[in-house]
Amino acid sequence: GQNIDQPTEMTATEGAIVQINCTYQTSGFNGLFWYQQHAGEAPTFLSYNVLDGLEEKGRFSSFLSRSKGYSYLLLKELQMKDSASYLCAVRTYSGNTPLVFGKGTRLSVIA
């Protein structure tokens, strides 16, 4: 079966750095995505990793270790608008295929 685990909730302070972890056990692996979702809104694409290592994109970075079935999303210089749910999703095999989503981590940024 497919299993993706993320912490349910996290709280961090404005201006700080936060790391959101994701572990996965899936039948096959062909890439991991991170999405941001504000309450009641559509998920928006943040990052994609298919090879081991760190991908940096502005204030957001994402890391992948395929051997450990592990990824994290790093958010720097937190802003209040970063308060949202962060969804980890795994593509399990190649091609134009659906994603398996974790339940998401609800991040609250406080002053």
Partner 1 sequence: DSGVTQTPKHLITATGQRVTLRCSPRSGDLSVYWYQQSLDQGLQFLIQYYNGEERAKGNILERFSAQQFPDLHSELNLSSLELGDSALYFCASSAAGASTDTQYFGPGTRLTVL
Total of chain residues touching partner 1, rule CB under 8 A:
26
97 lies in the binding site for partner 1 (CB under 8 A): yes
Q: Can you tell me the distance from the alpha carbon of 3 to that of 29, in angstroms, rounded to the nearest whole number?
A: 12
Cβ neighbours for 14, distance < 8 A, ≥ 6 positions apart:
78, 79, 80, 109, 110, 111
41 lies in the binding site for partner 1 (CB under 8 A): yes
Minimum CB distance to partner 1 smaller for 68 or for 103: 103
Minimum CB distance to partner 1 smaller for 34 or for 63: 34
Q: Can you tell me the distance from the alpha carbon of 16 to that of 25, in angstroms, rounded to the nearest whole number?
A: 30
Q: Give contact residues for partner 1 (rule: CB under 8 A).
A: 30-31, 33, 35, 40-45, 48, 50, 87, 89, 91, 94-104
